Structure 1
């Protein structure tokens, strides 16, 4: 009997040790989560408790969530899931056999507009380069679309008016430019004309008899989190090949969770290739050591961003699981030089010397952040900080006085990760709307295409109709982030 009791006690002790090991593996002790090793309880720090309280007080749509809502296309909702998440491969693992590739031109732009509402006559052509060949996809990210005051930060409510204004300007710039690029010989008949877009014209305008699309751009995702706003525009003939659009918001500002700093990430699949675009606004500050706060923000965004698995549970959930990833925004990295030296070198246009002391490039080389990411060659002047409505850098005009001393820096950046992306241009615009200049990058993206016998539409005859219904019903509405936490996953 004593031997049996001893065996039971040893068995129980071993079981507890196994449970403890399992808990430690499941809940890694980090700055956000503390786990009791035996009782499997998460001990939340003060910032997380405050975040939970604020969520309850203000509602799920007002405080940024780590997890997105599981908004899927109508097609996805009609499918049934019979595969477990542990066994199903990601799209990036190339579940399907592909024997074709297609190339698409992607325009990516970022602009910190300093909380200034755009005027009705704002010229977008300079930034969007609509006077040259148009891209197939436009991904535009903004920071500070609303002033970062206490009310906007704490309430975090979306400003539909300001976002609608930006979208209207973008729509007008893109679609008004199409007619300029259509040769006169092609302007035959009413069908080839570009009409004003009202109520988000959809794929219904497809001429089924000729199977030709009237050319125009429409947005598929548009999302705001406090000052961060991202909007994605795609040429209409590509819309049937866009699947699984999703959004994920991460706030890492005040208390480590509010949305004055953080990211809005969007995901979609074009044919058989998954894309992820991360629009972020990282920690500010020009003091020594502030770059570590920016590194920490970037790490938090990579850790906490989560997308829907989809009904078949085979979609990439994390940023780096996608085939092609582009990160844009006000990353806020400065220059490791005294302010006076920086201003002097900027006046002489000594870009090479300045870039040798650029914080982001230094952090990349030392492996402190964004390991494996790429950035194109910078051959343009620093994008920050200017006097508003001026071409003069802040602090360089002795006649103007300002409380804050800000040396010029390349705060606004675009970097990328993954195979199949080739950058063709990296430059800046010259709009003087805010104290930042907008930046842009143009990529050629290789996308994998199913073989003719399995191409989208031939294998699923009703899929175009399904997607058309989805774009009509869903993309006019804003995608919102559900009130979910990592502990609910």
Structure 2
């Protein structure tokens, strides 16, 4: 049995780390290592999803990367890229920012990437409130990540629900696989949802927090109450709120609001998920209670490992919230659309060749290209050189094609590199090699063969 067949029938686990933070126009703190879990990480996180609200819209001219206009994108890339995470896509709408990162060897299996934005501020004319999303097929299963900033203030709970429903209705994606947000196999909904704690006085809320009696506040949380009556929330799940309310703090402290407004503490910052139900309507009705039919899905399982706040970050009046999930589903897409092969080490300029094979289903473009990336690259345009993935007309039906990098397209020093095949039609990398060495010209080391095997690489790292 081939390795690909084994993976086709074996359940596959994908570990996703989601962060939401209303940063209150602040610049990034000096160190976000603990927020990303990189200080205790075991390297098994496959994707990072970062949703920010109230990102400062001022363009910072000191940014190193001209492709990005905010410090938060740059800081996240700087911290994650040394660990092999590449920016898959990003979407920004005024202060709302969504960043999606994945291990570089997953890139060929993240397909159909699309983003959407919906304004709900000032009746839909202003983007200070609303939602930004990114959807994609991950190993053949559709996932949508939705970052929202809903209306503020205690009395606007109903308006929050109306805005959320409006976002779901307006966000439509191209293609037949998944047209709306809720048509995806898995939806993650997070952000500054702005729900407050009803009825209870400030002193009662603070006393419950101080005495670690948080469950007494749960039943008065507006989002929890809405789950019983709002059909738009049907199927959405959330872990227990075992961390103190994340809003509102005096900036620079762990002290709840002491200003004249004296905002009552609230769990404004949330992370929820939803599995698409595939059972027929009759079975859903027979199941009775909401959420009790979560098992009647297409074999996808979502397990939440932690749901927490990060009190140590004080640059904003909100605390960041994070959650780690394992998504378990069968491998559906287990072969890259383009297979890249580097035969030997590039000991000389003449050795700088690569071969590529196209899957029969792949629709190529004359604008496809192959990038040479240093290990630890940040995004698909962060290459050190590239060549066009040309196919001569006479060779069009050949299975294997070869490209050569010229001296001008190669970096001067040595190091570890990978090649990535960029699809112009799909706007993403659809094939990568494993890392290989490019020694300095003339350096003699034993040549060895490196072949695409991200699936085997990923499998061995799991064992």
TM-superposed CA distance for 1:259, in Å, is 0.7
- Matches of 2:305 and 2:371 in 1, distance apart? 31
TM-superposed CA distance for 1:377, in Å, is 1.5
1:306 to 158, 172, 185: 172
Greater strand percent: which structure?
Answer: 2
Instruction: Tell me if structure 2 keeps the 8 A contact 1:269–1:275.
Output: yes
Name the CA shift for 1:422/1:375 in 2 (closer, same or farther; >3 Å): same
2:319 to 426, 437, 451: 437
Query: Helix, strand or coil for the counterpart of 1:252?
Result: strand
| Count of matched residue positions in the alignment of Structure 1 and Structure 2 | 319
Q: Which residue of 2 aligns with 1:285?
A: 153
TM-superposed CA distance for 1:231, in Å, is 0.5
TM-score, normalised via structure 2 length: 0.63
TM-superposed CA distance for 1:100, in Å, is 3.8
Q: Which residue of 1 aligns with 2:282?
A: none
Q: Which residue of 2 aligns with 1:139?
A: 49
Name the CA shift for 1:241/1:162 in 2 (closer, same or farther; >3 Å): closer
After superposition, the C-alpha distances for 1:17-51 in whole angstroms (9 at most, x for unaligned) are xxxxxxxxxxxxxxxxxxxxxxxxxxxxxxxxxxx
Q: Which residue of 2 aligns with 1:460?
A: 359
- Matches of 2:49 and 2:240 in 1, distance apart? 20
- 1:165-204 alignment runs, 5 A limit: 165-176=71-82, 178=83
- Matches of 1:476 and 1:277 in 2, distance apart? 23
| Aligned-residue CA RMSD (Å) | 3.1
- Matches of 1:123 and 1:114 in 2, distance apart? 17
- 1:31-50 alignment runs, 5 A limit: none
- Matches of 1:261 and 1:322 in 2, distance apart? 23
Query: Helix, strand or coil for the counterpart of 2:71?
Result: helix
- 1:16-55 alignment runs, 5 A limit: none
Q: Which residue of 1 aligns with 2:233?
A: 370
TM-superposed CA distance for 1:428, in Å, is 1.2
TM-superposed CA distance for 1:360, in Å, is 0.6
Instruction: Tell me if structure 2 keeps the 8 A contact 1:450–1:456.
Output: no
Q: Which residue of 2 aligns with 1:127?
A: 35
1:108 to 18, 22, 29: 18
The unaligned stretches of length 5 or more in structure 1 are 1-97, 153-158, 179-215, 396-401, 478-489
TM-superposed CA distance for 1:344, in Å, is 2.4
Q: Which residue of 2 aligns with 1:274?
A: 142
Query: Higher relative contact order by CA 8 Å / sep ≥ 6: 1 or 2?
Result: 1
Q: Which residue of 1 aligns with 2:186?
A: 324
Greater helix percent: which structure?
Answer: 1
After superposition, the C-alpha distances for 1:414-439 in whole angstroms (9 at most, x for unaligned) are 00001422111111112111000000
Q: Which residue of 2 aligns with 1:414?
A: 271
Instruction: Tell me if structure 1 keeps the 8 A contact 2:151–2:194.
Output: yes
Name the CA shift for 1:470/1:386 in 2 (closer, same or farther; >3 Å): farther
TM-superposed CA distance for 1:407, in Å, is 0.6
TM-superposed CA distance for 1:366, in Å, is 2.8
- 1:214-253 alignment runs, 5 A limit: 216-253=84-121
TM-superposed CA distance for 1:242, in Å, is 1.1
Name the CA shift for 1:261/1:130 in 2 (closer, same or farther; >3 Å): same
Name the CA shift for 1:340/1:316 in 2 (closer, same or farther; >3 Å): same
Query: Helix, strand or coil for the counterpart of 1:365?
Result: coil
Task: Indicate yes or no: 2:305 matched with 1:424.
Answer: yes
TM-superposed CA distance for 1:167, in Å, is 2.1
TM-superposed CA distance for 1:270, in Å, is 1.2
